[in-house]
Amino acid sequence: MGNIVVSPHDKEGQHHMMATPTSNNPNGGSAATAKNKSEITVLLLGAGESGKSTLFKQVQFFHGVGITHDQERIELIEIVRLNVLENAKNLVAATQHLNIPIEQPENRETAKLIINSLNTNDLEDPSWSKRLYSLWKDAGIQKAYENREKFQLYDSTEYLFENLDRICSDKYVPTVVDVIRTRTKTIGITDMKFDVGDGKQLRLVDVGGQRNERRKWIHFFNTVDAVVFLTSLSEFDLNLYEDNGYWRVKESLRVFNEVVNNALFYKVPFVLLFNKRDLFEKKIATKSFSKYFSGFNEAEEKNPVACIEYMTKLFLNEITEHPLDTVSVKTLSAIDHDNSKQVFEEVKQFIMTQQHRE
């Protein structure tokens, strides 16, 4: 399941051009080819919800393309609101499963509307800001939220509920942060090109992370100059979206193993990014980390550095083929603009130096 096998017959990826906006060629164009030396192709890989697209959006933003423009963000109003509704629906449904009643009668009323009839257009009405916020603050919903590892819920939930007064207004224009925080499941493969100086272009490729999506990655394996593998630090207590009995960390390790040891990547610089550091630090403050890792010293479980060190070892142990000196490990908080910018700059430098060495 989910094995990544490179088929020798698959040449499509080599000549593949995407019709997504690039910094200098809005329609993807066909002038540049993947083999063009002035172009560096970087793949963002990782299991579902590891933050690939979030980083992708941040990179767009530093380079002043895509979501930087108001017009692009206005088109995302629907998606932000859909996120709000999905979060609310998931929470309400969770209260039923976990048998935690929503306490206030007016919030139960709101919950019913959410499940049955509410749609994104309704959220133009500011009265929904109050109603949804009151629902969010309901003791029952909060209790379900505390138990969110038991069901699938987006990381953005709290952020969106705290910003309802802006979102539920007919004048709402999503901010860059809103867009960064919004969860949209990526399907397929998408790319974007940026000028990185010296007449070079960086082509960043974002992919979907769920099991069925990973089979598509091979289309890009041949043309790659560097791989950035993301994994979420905060997933240690979560199960997979695709398969609810399956621990996310186990899946990430497996995918990492398959990618990093892939023969096509032996000579390619490889970056392992431990993402969602912010969420992770909050999470270990209240949850036991050692409960999930028998080899970890319980006394250290509130120390994020020790936990991350442990995780790093766990991942690096998977590397059997790839030369270790071309692997770099970093932590990241992709929703944080400055941190993403800094980390991405480091990643870029690392990749360029590695290329230079060749």
Partner 1 sequence: MVFQLFATTADNFNATNNQTSAICDASFFNSTWSREFPGRVDYSLCPDTWVALCLTFLLIYLSTIFSSGLGVIWKRNSGHIQARSPIYLFFTLFSAFIFIFGMTMRFIVGRKIFPCGLVTIFFFTFPQAVTLPTIFRLMRTFLMHKINLQKTKLFDVDVNKGQVRVDQSQSALSETMSKTELKLVDSDISSEMSLTNVELNEGNEDGDVSNSKIEFKNLSDVKKEMRKLNIYNFLISYKFITVVYILAFVFGILLWVLIGVVEEVVYQKDPTKGRIFLLEGGILLFEHGCGLSTNTTIIIGVESIAYIILELVFFILCLMADRDSWGIKKESLALIFFQIVAAVLFIVCGSINVIKNLVDYYVPYGFLIWGYMLLEVIVCVSLPVLYSIGKEKKHQESGDTGFERLLKNKKTFDIVLDFARRSYCTESVLCWRDIERYKKSGKGNRKKIALHIVEAYLSLEAPLELNMPKIQERKQELSAIIENGSLELDLFNGIQEHCLHDMIDLMDRLSSANKEISEILRNSK
Per CB under 8 A, 278 contacts partner 1: no
The DSSP string of 296-309 is S-GGGTT-HHHHHH
Q: Is 41 a catalytic residue?
A: no
- Tell me whether residue 95 is annotated as binding: no
Sheet holding 39-45, edge to edge: 189-195, 201-207, 39-45, 226-232, 270-275, 327-331
Catalytic: 203?
no
State the catalytic residue, choosing from 73, 81, 181, 183. 183
* Angle of CA points 263, 211, 222, to nearest 5°: 30
Annotated catalytic residue within 210, 223, 326, 331 = 210
Residue at 48: amino acid letter: G
Q: Which residue has the tokens 């060749």?
A: 358
Cβ–Cβ under 8 Å, residues 184 and 79: yes
Residue 119 near residue 85, CB atoms below 8 Å: yes
Question: CB of 356: closest distance to partner 1 in angstroms?
Answer: 32
Please provide residue 155's backbone torsions phi and psi, each rounded to the nearest 5 degrees. -65, -25
Smallest separation, CB 128 to partner 1 (Å): 13
| Cβ distance to partner 1 smaller for residue 30 or 286 | 30
Q: Which is nearer to partner 1, 35 or 185 (CB)?
A: 185
Residue 96 as a binder of partner 1 (CB under 8 A): the answer is yes
**CA nearest neighbour of 47 among 286, 273, 211, 288:** 211
Cα separation, 252 vs 195, whole angstroms: 31
* Binding to partner 1 in span 191-220, by CB under 8 A: 208, 210, 212-213, 216, 219
Q: Which of 54, 157, 182, 354 is catalytic?
A: 54
Nearer to partner 1, 99 or 320 (CB): 99
* Binding characters for partner 1, 113-132, by CB under 8 A (x = yes): --xxx-xxx-----------
Hey, is 229 helix, strand or coil? strand
Q: Measured between alpha carbons, how far is 200 from 358 in angstroms, rounded to an integer?
A: 17
Inter-residue long-range contacts of 114-120, CB under 8 Å, 24+ positions, other chains counted = 114/85, 114/88, 114/89, 115/89, 118/85, 118/88, 119/85, 120/78, 120/81, 120/82, 120/85
Q: How far is the CB of 297 from partner 1 (least distance, A)?
A: 26
State yes or no: is 162 an active-site residue.
no
Q: Is 122 annotated as a binding residue?
A: no
Q: Has 331 been labeled as part of a binding site?
A: no
Position 54, amino acid? T
- Residue 103: both structure tokens together: 């306490």
Does residue 109 belong to the site contacting partner 1 (CB under 8 A)? yes
Binding mask 234-273 for partner 1 (x = CB under 8 A): -----x-xxxxx----------------------------
What are the residues whose beta carbons fall under 8 Å from the beta carbon of 320, sequence distance 6 or more? 257, 261
Binding residue (CB under 8 A) for partner 1 from 4, 62, 78, 319: 78
C-beta closer to partner 1: residue 56 or 310: 56
Residues annotated as part of the active site? 49, 54, 183, 206, 210
Binding site for partner 1 (CB under 8 A): 1, 16-21, 26-28, 66, 72, 75-79, 82, 86, 89-90, 93-94, 96-98, 101-103, 105, 108-109, 112, 115-117, 119-121, 149-152, 184-190, 208, 210, 212-213, 216, 219, 239, 241-245
Tell me the binding residues. Answer: 49-54, 155-156, 186, 206-210, 275-278, 334
